[in-house]
Amino acid sequence: MPPEPQPLKVLFVSSEVAPFAKTGGLGDVSGVLPRALRRRGIDVRVVMPLYAGMRWDALERLEGTLEVPMWWGRARAAVRLGRLPDGDVPIYFLEYNRYFDRPFFYGPPGEGYGDNIERFTFLSRGALELAKVIGFLPDVVHANDWQTALLPVYVNTVEWAQPLHGAATVYTIHNLLHQGVSDGGAMFVTGLGREHYHPGEFEHFGTLNLTKAALHHATLLSTVSPTYAREIQTPEAGCGLDGVLRGRQADLFGILNGIDVEAWNPATDRHIAARYTAESMEGKQACKAALQAAAGLAVDPRIPLFGVIGRLTYQKGFDVLAHCMDRVLSWDAQMVLLGTGDGDGEEFFRSLSARRPDKFKAWLAFDEGLAHRIEAGADFFVMPSRFEPCGLNQMYSLRYGTLPVARATGGLVDTVQGYQEATGDGTGFLFGDLSPGALADTIGWALSTWFDRPAHVEAMRRRAMSQDFSWDRAAASYERLYLEAYRRRRGHPFAGAVSAPAPPPTPSPRPPPPRRRPPGERARSPTRRSRRR
Ligand code: ADP
């Protein structure tokens, strides 16, 4: 009998994996994508750090210690084994208190810990050591964002001529703003010699940049939406690495994230006041009434209610929203906001909430249940992002029949179909120019549609709720990406079990030629901003 074909083996490494640790979309993706890959028959194992506050006693402690080579010697870490919820994907937690027993994953709000490069060097190096110790020789190593950017570098360097050197590497950019930047003097922390500190690898305008090295070393690159894959090749959105990305355009793919359609399902959601479907929407009225009451607003189904959720940061464009609030609140509309972040932003929305309790309520907290109640109870969802690699909230909104009012950027372009007033087509309201005027005008457009063309709102809601954002679609694209990476690394196709042989993925199209910077306009300084995490 011929031997059973082996499944594709993938080592998936991430600094956050929901529900164990999450600060944003990276955590969501890392928690759900591996489960969808497993459903396709891929043998995927996840590795992440064990952070303070995690329920470690519920995890199996593996025997012995894992020795991780660090610049100062060998770190002896414990390894705990768990499973992702609702499935059998193994997840390994690297337990090393010196680096991870801290109050925050990356650092206090607005800053990063001074030794973040070292902490996540440990994660990348540790993940490869773990793979060897447990005898899991991956076909593909999948690294996610700068915290794991050293993985493709190590596969090509310290694993040279070792079994792991045969692994293809995929590097996914979830948000290019955060790049893992430090002074050039920190090169030694990676354990690699100074010969790697040059503009073709780690050096970027006099700083050490882990992402740049990953972009150079990974077999294939991906990011989380087709539009963002194009945008990051331009100076406007490339955060200083657009040139490097243009150089690898043929190896860069945009795969739109999915969402957890079980956790975010208005038909079964236990967080919300009443459940509903596209066919029977009465429950949404009850959710709206409950949300209005919880926010201390007038409980009135006729007043359109706008919801806002997200990190109160520059990326999300909350400063622009702040500048148009007076205008918006002068209209017959209500707004609720849930978010945490920049001190100034929090202060602004807190005081606005106190000043206009009749129309506006801000909750400055991180509250998963409330996020569900806002998605279900609001009529419209506002997302004025400056840039948005993919964005999850607009997909949750669409699934809950809550129409996005969103800036046409990144993944928002790929998920929201712009409203056509003449025909009633579309699933949301898009605007291009990121200014308080354009945002207020678009909120006003949603408002006038609500009052003047209610049939359009109804039809858009049903259309929005019927969109497919499941991870199964995205997982099929990742499988194709892995197979292509394998083929390029080994020079021959993967011979094991493949769930659905499919054509190789197509790289993101070449972007328009870079815009010349007009005289007098200052270059942006992505490296400075990217230190925030
Ligand atoms: P990003 O990853 O850039 O923060 P995404 O839209 O991709 O943005 O994902 C944000 C995720 O974090 C969503 O699941 C969103 O609901 C959640 N989220 C953000 N802020 C809060 C908050 N204050 N309370 C609850 N959930 C939040």
Map 366-408 to HEC letters.
CCHHHHHHHHHHCCEEEECCCCCCCCCHHHHHHHCCCEEEEEC
Q: Is 309 in the pocket of ligand 1 (CB under 6 A)?
A: yes
Output b/e per residue, 282-309; b: 16+ Cβ within 10 A.
ebbebbbbbbbebbebeeeeebbbbbbb
Q: Is 18 in the pocket of ligand 1 (CB under 6 A)?
A: no
Q: Is 117 in the pocket of ligand 1 (CB under 6 A)?
A: no
Structure token pair of residue 317: 């464009």
Q: Is 310 in the pocket of ligand 1 (CB under 6 A)?
A: yes
From 101, 161, 102, 90, select the one nearest 127 (Cα to Cα): 90
Model confidence over 435-490: pLDDT tens digits? 999 999 999 999 999 999 999 999 999 999 999 999 999 999 999 999 999 999 99
What is residue 518's predicted lDDT score, i.e. its pLDDT? 47
532: pLDDT confidence band, cut at 50, 70 and 90? very low
140 and 168 in contact (C-beta within 8 Å)? yes
Model confidence over 379-438: pLDDT tens digits? 999 999 999 999 999 999 999 999 999 999 999 999 999 999 999 999 999 999 999 999
Q: State the distance from the centre of ligand 1 to the C-alpha of 191, rounded, in angstroms.
A: 35
Q: State the distance from the centre of ligand 1 to the C-alpha of 159, rounded, in angstroms.
A: 37
Res. 235: pLDDT tops 60: yes
Q: State the distance from the centre of ligand 1 to the C-alpha of 44, rounded, in angstroms.
A: 25
Give me the sign of the Cα torsion angle 259, 264, 265, 266: negative
CB atoms within 10 A of CB 513: 8
What is residue 510's predicted lDDT score, i.e. its pLDDT? 67
Q: Is 368 in the pocket of ligand 1 (CB under 6 A)?
A: yes
CA distance 290 to 269: 15
Is 249 buried (19+), middle (13-18) or exposed (0-12) by CB count in 10 A? middle
Atom of ligand 1 nearest to the CA of 363: 23
**Across 136-150, 239-253, 332-346, 390-404, least confident range:** 332-346
Strands 203-204 and 207-209: antiparallel
Atom of ligand 1 nearest to the CA of 174: 2
Q: Is 375 in the pocket of ligand 1 (CB under 6 A)?
A: no
In single-letter form, the type of residue at position 410 comes to: G
From 254, 44, 166, select the one nearest 487 (Cα to Cα): 166
Question: Which residues make Cβ contacts (< 8 Å) with residue 33, sequence separation at least 6?
Answer: 12, 258, 471, 474, 475, 478
Res. 239: pLDDT tops 90: yes
**Across 38-47, 334-343, 453-462, 485-494, least confident range:** 334-343
- Which of 392, 395, 402, 469 maximizes ligand 1 atoms within 8 Å of its Cβ, making it the mutation to test the pocket? 392
CA distances for 452 relative to 17, 421, 422, 430, 446, angstroms:
44, 11, 13, 19, 10
533: pLDDT confidence band, cut at 50, 70 and 90? very low
| 3-state SS string for 441-498 | HHHHHHHHHHHHCHHHHHHHHHHHHCCCCEHHHHHHHHHHHHHHHHHHHHCCCCCCEC
What is residue 512's predicted lDDT score, i.e. its pLDDT? 58
Atom of ligand 1 nearest to the CA of 311: 20
pTM of the predicted structure, to 2 decimals? 0.90
56: pLDDT confidence band, cut at 50, 70 and 90? confident
Q: Is 24 in the pocket of ligand 1 (CB under 6 A)?
A: yes
What is residue 521's predicted lDDT score, i.e. its pLDDT? 43
Structure token pair of residue 463: 């259309």
Structure token pair of residue 12: 């998936």
Atom of ligand 1 nearest to the CA of 340: 23
- Which of 366, 390, 409 maximizes ligand 1 atoms within 8 Å of its Cβ, making it the mutation to test the pocket? 366
What is residue 343's predicted lDDT score, i.e. its pLDDT? 78
What is residue 502's predicted lDDT score, i.e. its pLDDT? 60
- Which of 172, 393, 395, 397 maximizes ligand 1 atoms within 8 Å of its Cβ, making it the mutation to test the pocket? 393
What is residue 35's predicted lDDT score, i.e. its pLDDT? 95
523: pLDDT confidence band, cut at 50, 70 and 90? very low
CA distance 133 to 122: 16
What is residue 25's predicted lDDT score, i.e. its pLDDT? 86
CA distance 86 to 261: 13
Mean pLDDT in residue range 236-258 = 97
What is residue 501's predicted lDDT score, i.e. its pLDDT? 56
Q: State the distance from the centre of ligand 1 to the C-alpha of 237, rounded, in angstroms.
A: 21
